[in-house]
Amino acid sequence: MTIAPIAAVSGVTATDYLSAVQPTASTDGSAFGTSLTGAVDNVQQLQSTSNELTLQAITGDLDDIHSATIASSRAAVTLELVAAVRNKGVDAFNEIMRMQA
């Protein structure tokens, strides 16, 4: 028995999560801020969709429970990704501050 990758099962790719982010040519750090803002906005959108589908499933208005499950999983994985990036950013900032001391 083989296990299919998640992307093959649900059609999820890394570009789905960051598709709203458009890189800019500036070198002042605004591209990084834009990327983070786009990622957070995408997380909020995925969580909103997940909440709507969950509410529909609870009230019995949802015919396909799989879409609610997939939306919930996408929102959870994306939130974990954004939290990991945030943690790495905080770690890098703290390391830079230690170097200056």
The pTM (predicted TM-score) of the whole model is 0.64
Q: What is the average pLDDT score of the chain?
A: 81
DSSP letter at 60? T
User: Model confidence over 23-34: pLDDT tens digits?
Assistant: 545 567 788 888
Q: Which SS3 state, helix, strand or coil, does residue 4 take?
A: coil
Average pLDDT over residues 70-81: 94
Contact present, 75 and 54 (Cβ < 8 Å)? no
pLDDT, one tens digit per residue, over 14-56 is 555 455 455 545 567 788 888 888 989 999 999 999 999 999 9
Number of alpha carbons in the 13 Å side-chain half-sphere of residue 8: 4
DSSP summary character for residue 3: P
